[in-house]
Structure 1
Amino acid sequence: MEKSELSIIFGAGLVLTAAIWGFAFVVVKDSLDFVGPTWMVAIRFTIAAVCFGLFFIKRFQHLNKDIFFHGCFLGVLLFLGYLTQTIGCNFTTAGKNAFLTTFYVILVPLIGWPVFKKKPGWYVWVAAAVALTGIGLLALDGDGAWYIMNRGDVLTLICGIFFALHIIAGSFFVKKEDVILLTFFQFAASGVLGFLTAPFLDGNFDVSLIKNSTVVVSMLYLGIFSSMVCFVLQNVGLKYVPSALASLFLSLESVFGVLCSCIFLGERLTLKMFVGCALIFCAIVLAEVIPNLKQDKK
């Protein structure tokens, strides 16, 4: 099969990844009526870790203490990111949760500036300004000069900080260590942290939910498809699709998120919110595509 054909196939895989992630916001929002946010994070990543570990069991022969500790460290950041995102989704709409989460794309080069000693390009500052404007239109409510951002939107923006830190930290470890094993221990650490903290944050788990087919299917979707399958599709796709195009495809996650929330949850976008979403998406494209275009030309 020719490289161009592979690029088309795996490009479609990246779009599918974005669609799976986008629909996951609907699944999370709908499941919060039954399962507490911490329990949800615990269950989804435990499922992901078990399935991932069984699928790549032969990789464990390469395990060492660095992979274990680095994977667990990344798992802590991943857990905090998904926990704040999931709790945030409980207090805001799935569509807003999807778009506000993607602010991490802008934060990565800004937070990474002192870490990598690399000053962000002009496009990052423009993207940040455009994104902040979009966030204001999407998340701020109020009359006159007084505006209030609800706690769900604030928590969703905080989750973006943890995701940005997760990406920055991960960029150091993946260069030297087995990415499959790193991912397994991220999933495993997130699941363990979830089970350790859920009784304190959410209370006891309602065992009767195991008989609820809706909850079971939702948790399997989040654990297998939104976590494990998407990781595989993303990494394989990045191998065959130009990075600029791959970034654009993956950034469609926010678009799918708001479309799915409107279709399946009946959420509505006002004109102000629509403009806010459009500005955030433009900022994401600006921050991701331009640097990757430069890299592809080298």
Structure 2
Amino acid sequence: MKKGVAIGGLILVTVIWGGGFVASDMALESMKPFQIMMVRFLLASVLMGLVSMGQRKKEAKIENRAGAVKAGMLMGLTLFAGFALQIVGLQYTTPSKNAFLTALNVVIVPFIAFVILKKKVGVKGIIGAIMAVAGVALLSLNGNLTLGIGDLLSLFCAVGFAFQIFLTGEFVKKYPAAVLNLVQMFTAFVLSTISLFVFGETDFQVTTKGWLSVLYLAVISTTICYLLQTACQKYVEETKAAIILCMESVFGTMFSIIILHEVITPRMVAGCIIILIAVIISNLSESGGEGNGENVQKIRETA
């Protein structure tokens, strides 16, 4: 897979995830947060299991199976944390603030890479990250910037997603994507099921629209997207991947306008344009070899 194709794949992921904001909003009308997550990750685990069975010969060559399982569990833990904090936070804040605060993972990812791997972040990567956050702010924020409980949960969810992006970039070079995704989804399913019982969300009274929404989240937004994300991140550096993935808010707004009939403003348009420019800037090669695939592989294989 060439780098350009991988970047295109990540953009497709953001389009689908953008639709996920609308699907989540519809599902919350008749389902509790951990009910949505439990069903979502159960179906995703089954589908990932089928994918793994189809790649059984490749999986048999895994030299460190225990390492692959541990890696997938770590990814699943961060994935669960990100989605749980996001969907619970969405109940106490507006979708626009939720989207903006979630997109702060763009800034957090390179910080994680710097702290853990001592990995230098290029100037264009920093500029792209700052522009991306500014664009999402224009696109999403309304009113004041005070932090309520929902905003705080959304902020912490950005940390979870940042670690998930970082860990995906590190582990996908070492272990088969199918194994990582199966373990990741099953771990998130187990944690969601435990949380469902802990928070007393066992009474299911779901509408047809709710089931259709969670089906979209499980099959399209989770299974297909995370298989595609994992495959594409073999060829795209973590910071750039995080910036590209923040375009989810752009497409989320577009789908909200089309499906939920939200009113578009010049501010929204400006935010979309700034995010698109940030993606372009972040994917321009730095002098000295930033974005060189061989260098990226060397850095990731040190983990």
**Equivalent pair of 1:105/1:288 in contact (CA under 8 Å):** no
Is 1:227 aligned with 2:228?
no
Is 1:182 aligned with 2:185?
no
After superposition, the C-alpha distances for 1:137-179 in whole angstroms (9 at most, x for unaligned) are 543633xxxx524443433332121111122233332222222
**Equivalent pair of 2:181/2:227 in contact (CA under 8 Å):** no
Which residue number corresponds to residue 213 of structure 2?
Answer: 218
Which residue number corresponds to residue 207 of structure 1?
Answer: 204
Q: Secondary structure at the match of 2:42?
A: helix
Which residue number corresponds to residue 29 of structure 1?
Answer: 25
Which residue number corresponds to residue 301 of structure 2?
Answer: none
> How far, CA to CA, are the matches of 1:286 and 1:93 in structure 2?
30
> How far, CA to CA, are the matches of 2:108 and 2:236 in structure 1?
24
Structure 2 residue runs without a partner (length 5+): 295-303
In terms of fraction of residues, the more helix-rich structure is 1
Q: 1:90 to 1:284 in 2, by over 3 A?
A: farther
Which residue number corresponds to residue 291 of structure 2?
Answer: 295
| Residue type of the alignment partner of 1:139 | L
> How far, CA to CA, are the matches of 2:240 and 2:126 in structure 1?
21
Is 1:109 aligned with 2:110?
yes
2:143 to 141, 161, 171: 141
Alignment of 1:228-243 (within 5 A): 228-235=223-230
Q: Secondary structure at the match of 2:29?
A: coil
Q: Which moved more, 1:236-245 or 1:31-40?
A: 236-245
Q: Which moved more, 1:254-263 or 1:153-162?
A: 153-162
Alignment of 1:146-185 (within 5 A): 147-185=145-183
Is 1:49 aligned with 2:45?
yes
> How far, CA to CA, are the matches of 2:286 and 2:41 in structure 1?
32
Q: 1:153 to 1:261 in 2, by over 3 A?
A: farther
Q: Secondary structure at the match of 2:156?
A: helix
After superposition, the C-alpha distances for 1:56-115 in whole angstroms (9 at most, x for unaligned) are 215364582222222112111110011112123333444554454333223211221121
Q: 1:250 to 1:132 in 2, by over 3 A?
A: closer
> How far, CA to CA, are the matches of 1:11 and 1:52 in structure 2?
23
| Residue type of the alignment partner of 1:205 | T
**Equivalent pair of 1:248/1:285 in contact (CA under 8 Å):** no
Which residue number corresponds to residue 254 of structure 2?
Answer: 259
| Residue type of the alignment partner of 2:141 | A
> How far, CA to CA, are the matches of 2:7 and 2:130 in structure 1?
30
Structure 1 residue runs without a partner (length 5+): none
> How far, CA to CA, are the matches of 2:224 and 2:167 in structure 1?
22
Q: Return the offset for 1:258.
A: 0.7
**Equivalent pair of 2:125/2:239 in contact (CA under 8 Å):** no
> How far, CA to CA, are the matches of 1:291 and 1:89 in structure 2?
38
Q: TM-score, normalised by structure 2?
A: 0.77
Q: TM-score, normalised by structure 1?
A: 0.78
Q: Which moved more, 1:191-200 or 1:150-159?
A: 150-159
Q: Return the offset for 1:39.
A: 2.1
Q: 1:277 to 1:107 in 2, by over 3 A?
A: farther
> How far, CA to CA, are the matches of 2:234 and 2:65 in structure 1?
26
Q: Return the offset for 1:48.
A: 0.3
Is 1:194 aligned with 2:192?
yes
**Equivalent pair of 1:75/1:185 in contact (CA under 8 Å):** yes
Which residue number corresponds to residue 40 of structure 1?
Answer: 36
Say how many residue pairs are matched: 287
> How far, CA to CA, are the matches of 1:239 and 1:112 in structure 2?
16
Q: 1:36 to 1:227 in 2, by over 3 A?
A: same
% identical aligned pairs = 31
Q: 1:282 to 1:95 in 2, by over 3 A?
A: farther
> How far, CA to CA, are the matches of 1:65 and 1:246 in structure 2?
27
Q: Which moved more, 1:106-115 or 1:75-84?
A: 106-115
Q: 1:48 to 1:255 in 2, by over 3 A?
A: same
**RMSD between superposed Cα atoms in Å:** 3.7
Which residue number corresponds to residue 90 of structure 2?
Answer: 89
Q: Which moved more, 1:184-193 or 1:62-71?
A: 62-71
Q: 1:183 to 1:103 in 2, by over 3 A?
A: same
> How far, CA to CA, are the matches of 2:81 and 2:239 in structure 1?
28
Q: Secondary structure at the match of 2:114?
A: helix
